[in-house]
Structure 1
Amino acid sequence: MEDFDVFTNEINFTKPLFKNILNKYVYEAPPTPNGPNYQSGRKLMAEECLAVNDDVGCAFHLSEASAASLRAMAVYRDEQSKSAADKLYKIKSYIKPVQDLVDAHPVPKTEAKLLNLLSDGTDISRDLEKFSIKDEEPFYRTYLKFSKENNVDNFQKILKEFPKEWTVVQLTVPYNPNENLKPLNEYRTDVTSLFLCTYTNDYQDDSVIPPITVHIPANITKEGEKPLFTELYSLLDENYKTIDNAQFLNNKRLVQNYWSRREDIDLRMKSVINVMDKEWLGGWGCLLTGKLIDKTLKEKVIKLVDTTISDWGFIRLTQKQRVLLYNLIESCPVLQSQQIKTCIRRILTEYGNSEDVRQVLNPECGSCTKEFKFLNELCLKCLSKSFEKLHHFSLVDGIRAFSQAVMQIKDNDELKKAKRHPVILIVDEMLDTFPWETLPILNQHPVSRMENIHFLYYLYKIHEKKICDGYFNAKCDVGRYVINPEKNLDRMENRMTSFVQYWCPAWSGHVGELPSPNDFISHLTQADIFLYCGHGDGCQLGAGGVERARGGALCVLAGCGSVREAAPAPRAPPAAAHHMLHIAGCPMVVGMLWEVTDLEVDKVISTLLSLFVPSEAPVAWANVGKAKWSHGVLDTSVEQKSPVTPERSLLRAICQARGSTGYIMIASSVVARGLPVKGI
């Protein structure tokens, strides 16, 4: 092998050979590749594309590097369901390639007689036609697979098909070789950076502007502090132990200790969110925000940035730098001044054209060279001098120019409080445990998560006729529920049963009993809204797999870790209830990221449903007396307070519902996975 040194037992790949190996692996992958290995290859390819300023190629490979095993599972389940419906399906699927071969190479007339003689008068084409598969597979199903259809052109085509209201952003952890060497519990904290890729953005409407990727340092900590990943997993373990041991509390001292630990865990989660916001994402949080509904505000931002660029003569700024500046200036009312200045510096120095920098670079520091891969490998001194040579004024002046632009809208309350269209986050499995939705820059935005671009497209095409203005139009007429099926959460049963009977009396379901698997699947198939209140996600009740349910139910799973992604082994892909429900076609699943307590969750879920589901109840749920709610008793004779405004956007209703609990651990655990939903 090339450059193999027998004395060091190491292989040093030259750059062309490295790229050839990567290309061979990712483009000649088997029909059902090993998910983690496939993802690793794609992440490496994304880095190679980013190094040569190929943002489109980088975004495509990052899109392929997300939840690959789930795609394989969806394809497998689809094949199983087709085989169950048609016993000859497998045979037909093997015949189809033969038919394609026959059609592509017609038999010459001179050989037709000989062929008929050998086949004893049998018309092969007619027999193949008899067993052929008539239905053409829709493209959204084909794109789930690992085939030649997964390419840059089709990727860009899909992005253009999405509703123009959506902001689609992917957060990805770079390839880490320790994934092949260490157990999951060790390498899951071994993260030093992440890729933030905006597929669609308020300033990328024009087809000329491709997806944009930035490389952000992560897991940054001050001296004496725990790394952020270590702290998050540590407090989640503590949260689990605290809640799990609550059943053994038998005296006042233990009870007081329990509440003290709960408060401590809450403070630690607030600290995690604060570090994510201030010291991790910083100004790059601007790329997570949704598109402005009021387009005049967007036009003001563009005019301000463009005027600054022309007045100061930023002659070598790339289109990518412009878009990054648009986003940053737009979000400056909710960012700190230091975050903004740091981000401006990085945009001006690290996201220009690397070839331009390489031509003017004259390293004087002794550590930088022209052989860099990414601009952030250069020291600030070399970056500053290169900037000055390109633009003919200093980096300090460049930062000052945009800082002055920031001051013109920094205190703009209209921009700060402006309503926005939905944000869809595609979150890497290594980052999925973090409470992104409760970041200060996002906590009032309509935000949902999706597994990957493939499943987002899959759900979008399935429900395309019901999607208007970027929202899935959901009915709330038919409701089904399963409450306390294991019969060991009596107070939760009293609370949620009394709520459903008061607010949604037309709904039906099972209370304090196990539904049969067929009943559970029927609930998912028939309902507009399905509510589960119990331990976990409840999908184990649909024995044989909930993927066989076919419907458009909005699922609310109010159990511990109901939408948590759990990897069962060191290299096994994560599995979760919402994966199966999305395969079944459910447009939205709302649930919890980790262990929660029933009273606080009951507050959040009842508030959410009362905001989203219309009701003829005489008193708004927020005004109902709940002193004896745990006994199933509601007081509707209370004085009517100020009217409560319904919220037909589910994602906005979730933002409001989080405020019904005083515990950040409960509020931040609630996430939505799927298409943005609006009630009709």
Structure 2
Amino acid sequence: MEDFDVFTDEIEFTKPLYKNILNKYVYEIPLYLSGANYQSGRKLLAEEYLEANDETSCAFHLSESVSASLRIMAVYRDEQLKAAGNKLHRITSHIKPVKDLIDSNPMCKEDEKLFDFISTDAAEITKTLESAKIEEDPLHKRYMRFSSENNVDNFRKILNELPKEWTVVQLTAPYNPNENLKPMNEFRTEIYSIYLTVFTNDYLSETGPFTVNIPANLNKEGEKPLFTELYSLLDENYETISNAQFLNNKRLVQNYWSRREDIDLRMKSVINVMEKEWLGGWGSLLTGKLVEVGLKERIVKLVDTTISDWGFIKLTAKQRVLLYNLIESSPVLTSHQIKPCIRRILTEHGNTEEVKQALEKIDCQTCDKEFKFLNELCLQCLSKAFESIHQFTLVDGIKAFSQVATSVKEDDEWVILKKAERYPVILIVDEILDSFPWETLPILNHHPVCRMENIHFIYYLFKLHEEQFVGGYFEASADVGRYVINPDKNLERMEKRMCSFVNYWCSDWTGHVAEPPSPEDYLRHLTQADIFLYCGHGDGCHLASGGGGAGVEGVRARAVCVLAGCGSVRLQWAAGRGPPAAPHHRLHVAASPMVVGMLWEVTDLEVDKMVSTLVSLYVPSTAAPAWPSVGKTKWSQGQLDTDVAEKSPFVPERDLLRAVARSRGSTNYVMIASSMVARGLPVRISQRN
């Protein structure tokens, strides 16, 4: 082998060979693979395609690099259910590949005579093969599997089939070789950039998905890196809440509240750093599609006019889309966020070959001529390359689009843009980035936002419920409600609060209070209810075990689930390189369209405020006065004061994601508010209800 040096015992891989090895590893793996290794290989392939400016292939490989083990769970569950319903399933599933091979390679007459001569049972075997019922799975099931059907063409097909109202964005941590060497709690802080991939966006049109690389884990001198601070904060939050039960004197109680306030301030700081120092202007890529079409058209015209007037004839299609999104979001961004983003759009997302040609005439001691990505170059080289390509300075280029952003920020004609209604955003978040409160970023905190595990599950759940989707929303009912409240019998005040609320606002709901339901009852709640509410420790899914051993995954869930316990939708990491698991995984495998829960430990009173506000906004009720006006002085004793006047007009919210965003405002604690996330697909109460 030419690249092998027998004297140094080292192999120097050429780029084509390196890519071939990666492809061989990714595509020729066994069916039941190691999810962690599969994801690592896909991330490396994505970087290779990004370097080659193949944006769609890069996006496809990044889409394969998240929550792979959950796909294995879904495939296994599907196989088990098929085998339970059809004892011949395993046999016929092995017959199909053979039958496909025979059909694709028909025998000539001579071969048929020879086969008849060798086998006296040929006619009977042929009859058996033809009688075997072999049904082809639909694409949304086949795409879950790790096969040749996971390809760029089918990836494009899936994106085209998703509702046009959606904005789908994936946040991915780059490959880190230390994943193979260090424990999770060590390598999880070693992230210095993230890939932000836009799968669907209002401005994409013909350009297709694209990816930008954003610096991450930034910190100022004397401060902890962002990842280190977040995990330290979550650990202290857990310790503080866990020890609250042992407080037995006034000094300890005062210390508890002091620590809670400190934790809250630190979470505010984390969100501030995420917004200003980390995402900056790139946060514009997380926003949803504008409902009013005319606003989008005006933005496009404004940016295109600037490009034409200043002569930016060599801007790429990707640069245009980035500028459209940035200018559209400029009313909610500061100039310190906008200007650096404009600079990076103009310099780091241009035509790589043109930059390489321009740099041939520039001598720089710090930049490598064999760079992979433009963001590896120093600002001086990027500025000189920009001037060589466009024939005017980078400063002038930044000034041109800054003026456009300022006019959109300040002119009265654009005031409507700041509070314009938007369609839903679906965030696909890499497991290692999942602990961050993305939804509470200022640029997103009023938008309808939900999270999903990967593009595979988005497509899977959408196709399962496609008949119920209208205008990008799962049209749900609110006729049947079920609940489980305080099954462990040790949250007495929470029990009194939530029972009094449910009895007042949802009087026709039924469920279990101060007792665990049987596994059969729990599963019936999931399959029969439109809305299922769990108020207790954790997520409550353990209550489903025992019902034939199937658990949650063994049923077809129809309920929108609200799980109000500590860490009820948190990813729990296994030892070693084991994949993370969470209750919403099992519920999504069981086809539940939406699960709302908490990312970390919370306190019951503040969560009760949020959850009761959420349900009162979302679920229609004949109760009067409206829940915000009800007196709650003795709520913890189970008593409500309904002899009051309406404080202000009550505006319900049938869009569940908007109701979640509004309900966060019912607590004064940022730590509590940012813990609530929605995992699933956009849901709203049907107008017929």
Distance 1:2 1:253, change over 3 A: farther
- 2:157 counterpart residue number: 157
Counterpart check, 1:475 vs 2:477: yes
Structure 2 residue runs without a partner (length 5+): none
Distance 1:243 1:141, change over 3 A: same
> What secondary structure, in the 3-state scheme, does the structure 1 residue paired with 2:61 have?
helix
Counterpart check, 1:375 vs 2:374: yes
What is the TM-score when the length of structure 1 is the normalising length? Answer: 0.98
Counterpart check, 1:30 vs 2:30: yes
Give the drift of 1:656.
0.7
Give the drift of 1:8.
5.3
Q: Is the CA contact 1:363–1:369 (under 8 Å) kept in the aligned structure 2? A: no
The alignment's C-alpha RMSD in Å is: 1.2
- 2:644 counterpart residue number: 638
What is the TM-score when the length of structure 2 is the normalising length? Answer: 0.97
Structure 2 CA distance, aligned partners of 1:265 and 1:579? 29
Q: Which residue of 268, 276, 279 corresponds with 1:278?
A: 276
- 1:298 counterpart residue number: 296
Give the partner amino acid of 1:563. V
Give the drift of 1:639.
2.1
Q: Deviations over 1:548-570 (max 9, x none)?
A: 12132100000000100111112
Give the drift of 1:114.
4.5
Aligned length: 677
- 2:592 counterpart residue number: 586
Counterpart check, 1:213 vs 2:219: no
What does 1:335-354 correspond to in 2, within 5 Å? 335-354=333-352
> What secondary structure, in the 3-state scheme, does the structure 1 residue paired with 2:219 have?
coil
Query: Structure 1 vs Structure 2: percent identity of aligned residues?
Result: 70
Counterpart check, 1:166 vs 2:129: no
Counterpart check, 1:123 vs 2:121: no
Give the partner amino acid of 2:107. V
- 2:675 counterpart residue number: 669
- 2:11 counterpart residue number: 11
- 1:612 counterpart residue number: 618
What does 1:320-359 correspond to in 2, within 5 Å? 320-359=318-357
Q: Is the CA contact 1:2–1:13 (under 8 Å) kept in the aligned structure 2? A: no
Q: Is the CA contact 2:143–2:150 (under 8 Å) kept in the aligned structure 1? A: yes
- 1:408 counterpart residue number: 407
Q: Is the CA contact 1:96–1:132 (under 8 Å) kept in the aligned structure 2? A: no
Give the partner amino acid of 1:554. V
Q: Is the CA contact 1:142–1:149 (under 8 Å) kept in the aligned structure 2? A: yes
Structure 2 CA distance, aligned partners of 1:440 and 1:256? 31
Structure 2 CA distance, aligned partners of 1:520 and 1:36? 33
> What secondary structure, in the 3-state scheme, does the structure 1 residue paired with 2:431 have?
coil
- 2:445 counterpart residue number: 443
Structure 1 CA distance, aligned partners of 2:310 and 2:10? 51
Structure 2 CA distance, aligned partners of 1:147 and 1:527? 36
Structure 1 CA distance, aligned partners of 2:160 and 2:235? 42
Q: Is the CA contact 2:44–2:175 (under 8 Å) kept in the aligned structure 1? A: yes
- 2:383 counterpart residue number: 384
- 1:503 counterpart residue number: 505
Structure 1 residue runs without a partner (length 5+): none
Structure 2 CA distance, aligned partners of 1:2 and 1:102? 42
Distance 1:8 1:109, change over 3 A: closer
What does 1:195-206 correspond to in 2, within 5 Å? 195-204=195-204, 206=205
Structure 2 CA distance, aligned partners of 1:502 and 1:11? 72
Q: Is the CA contact 1:165–1:291 (under 8 Å) kept in the aligned structure 2? A: yes
Point out the more displaced range, 358-367 or 458-467: 358-367
Structure 2 CA distance, aligned partners of 1:302 and 1:113? 69
Give the partner amino acid of 1:464. E
> What secondary structure, in the 3-state scheme, does the structure 2 residue paired with 1:662 have?
coil
Give the drift of 1:315.
1.7
Give the partner amino acid of 1:493. E
Q: Deviations over 1:491-516 (max 9, x none)?
A: 11111111111111111111111111
- 1:679 counterpart residue number: 685
Point out the more displaced range, 403-412 or 497-506: 403-412
Q: Is the CA contact 1:116–1:123 (under 8 Å) kept in the aligned structure 2? A: no
- 1:187 counterpart residue number: 187
Point out the more displaced range, 208-217 or 22-31: 22-31
Q: Deviations over 1:601-648 (max 9, x none)?
A: 000000000000000112100111111111111110112221210000
> What secondary structure, in the 3-state scheme, does the structure 2 residue paired with 1:647 have?
coil
Give the partner amino acid of 1:457. Y
Structure 2 CA distance, aligned partners of 1:268 and 1:20? 46
Give the drift of 1:267.
0.4
Give the partner amino acid of 2:416. E
Structure 1 CA distance, aligned partners of 2:323 and 2:130? 58
Structure 2 CA distance, aligned partners of 1:239 and 1:92? 53
Structure 1 CA distance, aligned partners of 2:36 and 2:272? 31
Counterpart check, 1:555 vs 2:600: no
Give the drift of 1:103.
2.1
